[in-house]
Structure 1
Amino acid sequence: MTVARSILLFVVAALFEIGGAWLVWQGWREHRGLWWIAAGVIALGAYGFVATFQPDPNFGRILAAYGGVFVAGSLAWGMVVDKFRPDRWDVIGALICLAGVAVIMYAPRPTG
């Protein structure tokens, strides 16, 4: 249950961070206005808050693992929202990152 909760929190955090960055991008680069930027800033703040619910108490570990989630999530976001077509190297790189997430977060560690 703890691993499933952790994965769900990573997915929610990715939606907030990648979505927030996308909103800022749209507001600034695509000239959609300050409301888009403001919504993006709020979403980015929510990302930081969601990360605090991870069961592991180590900030560095959580943020390092999230980096791999961000890589894979950004490619997925681009596919869904911007119709980006990743090549095989993008996919392989994302899978390597997710393998790193699994090792960082879920490898058995001695307790105590």
Structure 2
Amino acid sequence: MTYVIYLGAALAEIAGCFAFWAWLRLDKSALWIVPGIGSLCLFAYLLTLVDAEYAGRTYAAYGGIYIASALLWLWAAEDIRPDRWDMLGAAICLLGAAIILWGPRTT
């Protein structure tokens, strides 16, 4: 379930940030920020649903999911296919996220 929450949070964050990008960089209407703000609020809420003892660890592990999701957005929404360096970087980030989330803890 954690992956589903992280994926939903990543999509909400990317969509929210893209709304601001569209307004400021693509000359879209300022009304784009309305759903953008809603999407960013949804992102923050979804991260509170992750079953983890500490917020910082939750956010750190989420970072890897966000990076991989951003590259999927690049491909799906912007029609730019990630190259091998993008994929390698995302794989390293996902490995780091897994270590942070599931690494053995002594306390």
Q: TM-score, normalised by structure 2?
A: 0.93
Q: TM-score, normalised by structure 1?
A: 0.89
Aligned-pair CA distance for 1:109: 3.0
Task: Give the letter aligned to residue 81 of structure 1.
Answer: A
Aligned-pair CA distance for 1:92: 0.3
Structure-1 separation of matches of 2:27 and 2:35: 14
Instruction: Name structure 2 gaps, 5 residues minimum.
Output: none
Structure-2 separation of matches of 1:42 and 1:87: 32
1:88 to 69, 84, 90: 84
Instruction: Name structure 1 gaps, 5 residues minimum.
Output: none
Aligned-pair CA distance for 1:90: 0.6
Structure-1 separation of matches of 2:52 and 2:35: 29
| Structure 1 moving runs of 4+ over 4 Å | none
Task: Give the letter aligned to residue 34 of structure 1.
Answer: A
1:7 maps to 3
User: What is the SS of the residue equivalent to 2:81?
Assistant: coil
Structure-2 separation of matches of 1:57 and 1:44: 23
Cα displacement string for residues 23-77 of structure 1 (whole angstroms, at most 9, x for unaligned residues): 1111221111121112111111110111000000211001111111111111111
1:62 maps to 58
Give the aligned length: 107
2:12 maps to 16
2:40 to 41, 44, 48: 44
Identity of aligned residues (%): 36
1:26 aligns with 2:22: yes
2:93 maps to 97
